[in-house]
Structure 1
Amino acid sequence: MIKNFIVLLSANTIGQAIPFFIYPLLTRLYSPDDFGLLALYMSIFTVLSIFSNGRYEYAIILPASGDDAKSLLLLTQIINISTSLLFLGFFISMPLHIAALIGNIAIARHLWILPFSLLFFSLNSALMQYATRDKQFTSISYSEVSRSAVTSAFKLLLGFTLLNEAGLILGTLAGHICGALVILFTLFKLTGRLKLNLQWGKIKKIAVQYYAFPTFYLVNALTNVISGTLPVFVLTRWFSLTAAGLYSLGMGLVFTPVSLFSNSLSRILTKEITDKYNLQQPLTGALKKMLGFLLVSGTLPFMLVILFSPHIFRILFGNEWTEAGYYLQYLSPWLFMLYLTSPFNFIPNLLSKQRKAMIIDLVYLLLRVVSLAIGIYFNNIYLALLLYSFTGFLILGYSLVWYFFLVRKHDIVMRHVEQIL
C-alpha cells in the first residue's frame, strides 16, 4: 500500500508543482476576468462530467471477474460518446441562449469546446479506475504528470498570443486529451491485457447489476458537484467575473492539491478496503490509521494558509490578486475537512448505503444555497463565502463520523458471524 501511495503521490506532487511554478507567470499574462471565465467554463464542465460515464466508472473496481470489469469499461465509453455527441449538438445549436441563462455572454464562444473536454476527460477517468483495479499505478502517474505538463505548457504559450481567456480553456482541453491518450497507451504497453469484446447481452446485464451507480450515485454526485460549483455561478452572476477569477485562483492553488492528494490516498485505500471486504476481514483499523495520517500531515499546512495566504498571494502574484488570499482564509476550514473526508467517500458505495449518502448531499446542497443566498441578500461576498465554508465543515464532519460508524457496524456483524460459524 505504501509503495503504491508513494508512486501516486510523487506523480501528483510533480503534477501540482508544474502549474504552481507557472502561476506567477499566468497571473501576469491573464487577468482575473480571464481566470473567472475559465472558472465558469470548468464549473459547467464539472457538472456535465457527472453524466458522461453514467457513474459506472466507479463500479469498475468492484467485480471479482475481470470480464465484468471490462464490460463496465465498455459501457462507460458507450455512454461517454453518446453524451458527448448530445452535448455538442446542444451547444452548437443554442450557445447564446445557454450563455444568457448562465449569466455571462462571453462564455458562448467557448461552449463548443466542452464536449471534447468531456469526451477525453471521461475516457481518462474510466481508464484510471481500470488501472486502479489492475494495480497499474505507474500508468496513472504517467497520465497525471503528462496532463499537468501539457495543460501548463499550452496555457503559458497561448498566453503570449492574443487569445486571452481562450488560451486557458484550450490549454485545459489539451491536458485532457494528453492525459487520456497517455494512460491508454501505457495500459496497453504495460499490461497488454486491455482486450475488450463488445457483447451487448453482457453489457446490458452488467448495467442492470450496477444500477445504483447511475441512479443513487449519480444523483449523489450531481448534488455534490452543484454544491461545489455554486460559488462560481453565484459570483459570476451576482457579484463579478473578477470575483469568480479571484476565487478560482485561490481554490486552484489549495483545492486541486488537496483533491489530487486525497484521490491518491483514496485509490489505494479503496483497493485495500475492497479486498478486505471481499475476504470478510475487519476494516476499522486501516481507516483509523489513514485518518491519523491525514490529521498529522494536514494540520500545519492549513494553519499556514489561514494565517498568511493574503501575504503569499500578494508576493507571488501581484497586488491585484491579494483579495484571493482573503477568500481562501474564509474557505480553509471547509477545505481542511474536505482533506480529511475525501479518501473515505467510497465507503457508502462499498457498504450499499448510497441512498443515505444521497440524502446527506441533498441537505448539503440546500444549506449551501441558503448560505450563498444570504450573502447575495446582504451584498456581502465575505459573508457568502464564510457561510458556505461553515456549512461544508459541518456536513463533511458529520459524513466522516457516519463513515466510521458504518465500518464499525460492519466489523461487529462480521465478528458475530465468525462466532456463530
Structure 2
Amino acid sequence: MVVRSPLELRERKGTMKGLPSTVLRDVIQLLSGTAIGRLILLAAMPLVTRLYSPKDFELLAVYAALVGTVAVVACLRFEIAIPLAENDDDAIHLLALSLMSVAGVVALIFLLTLTLPQQIAELVGSPGTGAYMWLIALGVAMTASYSALQFWAARNRRFGAIARTRVGQATTGAVTMLGFGWLGLAPMGLLLGNMFSLGGGGLSLAAQVMRWDRAALRVLTRRGLAATLGKYRRYPIFSTPEALANVAGIQVPILMIAAMAEAEAGQLFLAMQIMAAPMTLLGASVGQVYASRAQEELRNGTLYRFTLSMMRRLFLICLVPMAAAALLAPQFFPVVFGAEWARAGVIVTWIAPWMLLQLTVSPVSMGLHVTGNQRIAMSLHVFGLALRVGSVGAAALIPGIGAVEGYATSGALFYGLCAIIVLGAIRKT
C-alpha cells in the first residue's frame, strides 16, 4: 500500500476516469519543470561553448556515451516495469530490485575504471579520457538511481516532484559548467555538469519515498523480491538486451566518430544536445505520462487509439520547429555559439529528420512492453544497432560519405521503421 498526500489522492481519482484533460494536465505539469530546466541549460550554452573548446566537448561526448550506455541497463530494466506493475507491492519490490542492480553494476564499473582506466580509454579510441574514467561509476550511479526513482514517482502521479528535480538538475549542471569553465578547470566542468544535469534530484525523490511510502517500504521482504524477480523476469531477459542495443545504436557510432575524427565528435555532441532539447522537454514528459496510463488504456481496449492519437499530435507539434531548425541552424550556430561551432549548425540540418521521427515514436514505444512484445522490441533495436554502426563504418570506408551524415540518415530510417512496427504490434493486441 502506498500513502499519498490529499492532493495526490484527488489527482489519482481524476486520472482513473481516463479523461483526456488529465493526460494534458500531467503532461503540462512535467513540461513546466522540464521546459524551465532546458531553458536554463540552453541559455548557458553560448557561454559554455566559449569557455570550453571542441576538444573538451569531444571528451564529454565519449564520457557521456560510456555513462549513457551503462546507465540505461544498470537497473536491469526493472525500472520500466514500475509504472506498469499490477499493484503497489510489486512496484515497490521492482524499485528495490532496480536500486540493488544499480549498486552491483556501479561496484563492477568502479573496480574496472579504478584498475584499468587507460586501457579502457584506449579501447574506446579516446586516450585523453583515461584521467576521468573514475567519474563513470559516479555518473552511472546518479543517472540510473534517478531513473528508477522517477518511474516510481510517475506511477504515483508525482509529476510536480519530477518537474522540480529537472529544474534543479539544469541549474546545478549549468552553474557547474560555467563555474569550472571560468576557473579554467576544463574539461572537468563539462563532465561534472553533465553528471548533475542528468542524475541530480535522486536524493529529493528518495526523500519523498521515505516520507509518503513508508507503508510500501514495510512490505519489502526477501521472499517478495524473489517472487517479483520471477514474475518480471522478461524485463532483464529481453528488455536489457533491447535497451543496450538501443543506446549502443546511439552511442557506439559517436565513439566511432570520436576515434576517426575527434573534432567531429565534439561538433556532433553540441548539435545533438541542442536538438535533444525538444526530446527531453516533450518526449520524455509525454513518455512518462503514457507509461503511467498505458495499462489502463489496454484494459479498456483503447491503447491503439490512444497511441496513434499521441503520435499524430507529437508529429504535428514538432514538424514546424524541426523544419525551422534544419533551415536556420547553419546561419545561427556561428553567431550564437562562436565561429568554431559552424560545423555543428550544418549537422543540425542532417539530424533534424531523425529527431522529428524519434520525438514521434519514442514516447509511445513503451507500448511494446505493455502488450508483452519485448522480443519484438529487442529484435528491433538490435537491427537499429547494426544499421547505425554499419552506416558509420561504411562512411569510413567509402570516400565522399561523411560519418556524421551516414549516422543521421540511419537514425531517420530506424525511427521510421519503429513507428510502423510499434503501431502494428499494438494494433494486433
TM range (shorter): over 0.9
Q: Which runs of structure 2 are paired with 1:234-249 in the superposition (5 Å)?
A: 234-240=256-262, 242-249=263-270
Q: How many Å separate the matches in 1 of 2:257 and 2:398?
A: 14
Is 1:295 aligned to residue 315 of structure 2? yes
Q: Residues 401, 51 of structure 1: CA spacing in aligned structure 2 closer, same or farther, 3 A cutoff?
A: closer
Deviations 1:118-160 (A, max 9, x none): 1121111111111111111111111111111101111111111
User: Paired residue for 2:61?
Assistant: 39
Give the Cα–Cα distance (whole angstroms) in 1 for the partners of residues 339 and 249 of structure 2: 30
Contact 2:354–2:409 (Cα < 8 Å) also in 1? yes
Q: Which amino acid aligns with 1:65?
A: N
Q: Name 2:83's counterpart in structure 1.
A: 61
Alignment correspondent of 2:10: none
Residue number in structure 1 paired with 2:176: 154
**Larger CA deviation: 196-205 vs 58-67:** 196-205
- Counterpart of 2:155 in structure 1 is 133
Deviation at 1:161, TM superposition (A): 1.5
- State the AA in 2 paired with 1:56: F
Distance 2:378 2:190 in 1: 34
The structural deviation recorded for 1:81 is 0.9
* Within-5 A mapping of 1:93-132: 93-132=115-154
Is 1:394 aligned with 2:418? no
- SS state of the match for residue 217, structure 2? coil
1:264 aligns with 285
Contact 1:142 1:182 in 2 (8 A): no
* Alignment partner, residue 415 of structure 1: none
User: Is 1:274 matched up with 2:295?
Assistant: yes
1:288 Cα deviation (Å)?
2.5
TM-score scaled by structure 2? 0.91
Structure 2 runs not aligned, ≥5 long: 1-22
State the one-letter code of the partner of 1:257.
Answer: P
SS at match of 1:103: coil
Contact 1:70 1:196 in 2 (8 A): no
The equivalent position to 1:16 in structure 2, one of 19, 26, 38, is 38
Per-residue deviation, 1:292: 2.2
* Partner in structure 1 of residue 426 of structure 2: 407
Report matched runs for 1:248-259 at 5 Å.
Answer: 248-259=269-280
Say whether the 8 Å CA contact 1:139–1:187 is kept in structure 2.
Answer: no
Instruction: Report Cα offsets for 1:181-221 as digits up to 9, x if no partner.
Output: 12223444566656355411110111111111111101111
Identity %: 26
What is aligned with 1:208? 230
CA-CA distance at 1:73 after TM superposition: 0.6
Number of aligned residue pairs: 407
Judging changes above 3 Å, is the alpha-carbon distance between structure 1 residues 54 and 210 closer, same or farther for their aligned structure 2 residues? same
Answer whether contact 1:136 1:187 (CA < 8 A) is retained.
no
Deviation at 1:167, TM superposition (A): 0.9
| Residue 244 of structure 2: aligned partner | 222
Counterpart position of 2:370:
350
- The 8 Å contact of residues 302 and 336 in structure 1, kept in 2 or not, is answered as yes
Name which of structure 1's ranges 10-19 and 267-276 shifts more when overlaid on structure 2: 267-276
Task: Choose which of 404, 422, 425 in structure 2 pairs with 1:385.
Answer: 404
Amino acid at match of 2:73: F
CA deviation string 1:379-408 (max 9, x = no partner)? 55x632233222222222122122222222
> Which one of 28, 48, 51 corresponds to residue 6 of structure 1?
28
Q: Supply the distance in 1 between the matched residues of 2:403 and 2:201 (Cα, whole angstroms).
A: 35
Rounded to whole Å, the distance in 2 between the matches of 1:79 and 1:3 is 33
5+ unaligned residues in a row in structure 1: which ranges? 411-421
Alpha-carbon deviation of 1:273?
2.1
> Does 2:336 align with 1:316?
yes
**Which of 345, 349, 361 is matched with 1:329 structurally?**
349
1:52 counterpart SS class: coil
AA paired with 1:306? Answer: A
Deviation at 1:344, TM superposition (A): 1.2
